[in-house]
Chain A
């Protein structure tokens, strides 16, 4: 590219005052275009998981294995779009996200490659893997209700559907429609209760939230802690993280839909897949082996107070024990196919 541009430009500006500027510009462009990693012991990781939550684990892997990791963090959907656009030229070897729906979507676009299932037996339950093992869950996360303990009596809320009640008008904080957690949550509700009931729920939720629609879940927990909102819907760890940094905060988590016949808590998983075009499949497999080992699982989950999926690894004691609540029976793998219809529904309701 640079050479083509160079001859083209230099023919234009021959013997004028431009060559210096042009040369400077081109040299800068040359430096700035990231070159795909070519070294044999390098692994390029695209991560939709925040850098803060993934880098320490990758650093640990780098230290023990000697494999150099190049980490690129960004939004999950942006990364799927990017992998898709880069196609065969992608420098990525591994894709990590916080949302199974996005992984399944990437699999459906043939962006991931299947792995040998034997690797995971006894380590990651099958419900947290795609049927062909194109992606593997690494940690569990639950979509829960956070409430301000001075403003709300927890007995008033048993189900997510209670949040659509007009009594909460102006008191609920929700994530925006771009949030993968919201999309996954709505997909599960839709798969369990059907379109009409889900739409009614979303309309109520929208009316109750008003302008309190946030781009980040940490902001929702913050708003609830400050009393700006009474109730919020977030992934469980945001609450426990907030409580860890500010132990006196007047907030608590509530696991919804545990009542008789209720749909159970909505679960999603952070997971990993090997990019179809990766030329370092062996290294990628070693990384995955590390991440599902007891040591890797402990680190991965504990950094963010999530639930390890390896049954041998206990969860953070601050979290409610994994067997103390019921989980939705909607299969995780369906989150991929449910996503577009869910988005249409979300848009029809006019959530932002």
Chain B
């Protein structure tokens, strides 16, 4: 490589970074401009008709789920951190497992279980008489239950980490000063946990407002579902764009709140005199009560649904209905996810590299822009990309390319979060040494940087791959006609109430989500 080329390299890399960031940011910018330029008449009409109901539904769902996850998350974290009982270590891990259930899988299992003629009604009618009904899963209560069971581990994880970090001296001082046990919890412990809890709740609410799978299967009207209905039922997408913008604002609020409080919780640390609280051993009765409590939640959120899926899957295999089409769906999912994950890593590398190595304001800005995918819930991202493509590249309309772009935009942020620390951990001196020994910039990257960051990048690839496997709304809206993936099959079969047929793809998705969860936990898990 000539000296001139060596000189030009960083500039071209910067240029590449800016281009990638711009492309990733484009859908968000486009949807904002589209909504803003929509005729005021459409805004007025929507304010008078849909928006109040959607705001109310979305806000109450987010609120209900927040309360539910707060109670479950904090109580569970408290039990496994502060008490000692048989099986504690098992529960510590097991309580995270519900995260492997995509919301549409849990929603579909519950619409069977709680539905008319379902097992829960069956049991209930034995208790309360043959005419009695349980509450319908297609309701506020149903949606709240499903979303709570699916997302409480997010609060649990953060609360657990915060409790582990909590210096017990604060509580001891309070006790010495004469506070009661309950007083300590409400006046010392919970306030100290507050940043972690707010961060966890913001994350939960970001999940709730972005979720499409559960609300669509439970027919609960929120913004994501409304955007989807507008897109599939109307010729004109301006109303969908307006609703999307409101959704983006919601998502942005929760995302920023999560970032802000998570950072604060990280620095809420103690002095050198840190001491962990001792675990209080429980008696036989106490242990039994705790086990029943943990078992009920774990059973409802993971074990029973998983067993039901397994049972249905085995039944499907026994009946021979698991045909070659199924493997076609597996291949479609795997192929799409593989291509998308590879593309995301290729595009993310210059961004992560620039932001960590040359953290000029512009480069950091590029990295931030690439996080746009976080505030583009599935249907919104799909809408933006669909409109962009049909305007500027109509020949790609209805091909898998458009779907891969949607995946990259949506999941690159998650990948970047894994790639960035990997690059951070690598000291620049190694690269500088390579350069001073005469290696070219490219050679340095190839021989020094890449081998050292490989682990983080492989983890990011796997993470994106598995997220893509689960992705539902964008796939549903953008897939080439007749091109189904596992997630799409679960949704289609479940929404026609072919519960048994939906089980094999659902079970496979849950299985495949396990390694992704382990990877994520390995990053943050601090063993007690």
Contacts and interface: CB of A to CB of B under 8 A. Distances in A.
B50 A17 contact: no
A226 B116 contact: yes
Contacts of B236: 340
A15 interface: yes
Interface in B476-512: 480-482, 495-497
A227 B446 CA distance: 67
A29 B342 contact: no
B104 to A, nearest CB: 14
Q: Which of B138, B233, B480 has the most CB of A within 10 A?
A: B233
A17 B219 contact: no
B398 A17 contact: no
B518 interface: no
Interface in A175-229: 176-179, 211-216, 218-219, 222-223, 226-228
A170 B395 CA distance: 47
Given A18-B346, A72-B481, A73-B482, A177 B401 contact: no
B179 interface: no
A223 B117 CA distance: 11
A77 interface: yes
Interface stretch (A124-132, A245-253, A341-349): A341-349
B397 A85 contact: yes
B256 interface: no
Contact of B446 (A16, A34, A82, A177): A16
Given A16-B445, A347-B45, A348-B49, A32 B495 contact: no
Nearest to B236: A340
Nearest to A15: B442
B210 interface: no
Given A15-B442, A17-B446, A21-B346, A177 B233 contact: yes
Contact of B49 (A33, A215, A347): A347
A33 B400 contact: yes
A295 interface: no
A86 interface: yes
Interface residues of A, number: 61
A211 B219 contact: yes
Interface string A9-48: 1001111111001101100110011100000000000100
B481 A74 contact: yes
Contact of B229 (A12, A46, A352): A352
A224 to B, nearest CB: 11
B16 interface: yes
A80 B235 contact: yes
A224 B116 CA distance: 11
A44 B166 CA distance: 66
Interface in A33-74: 33-34, 46, 71-74
A72 B482 contact: yes
Contacts of A321: none
A89 interface: yes
A87 B394 contact: yes
Contact of B442 (A16, A71, A74, A352): A16
B45 A348 contact: yes
Given A25-B343, A79-B481, A350-B53, 10 more contacts: A1-B396, A12-B16, A34-B398, A77-B233, A81-B235, A105-B235, A214-B219, A219-B497, A340-B236, A347-B45
**Which 5 pairs, one residue from A and one from B, show the smallest C-beta to C-beta distance?**
A178-B233, A72-B481, A85-B390, A32-B400, A33-B399
Interface of A: 1, 9, 12-18, 21-22, 24-25, 28-29, 32-34, 46, 71-75, 77-82, 84-87, 89, 105, 176-179, 211-216, 218-219, 222-223, 226-228, 340, 343-344, 347-350, 352
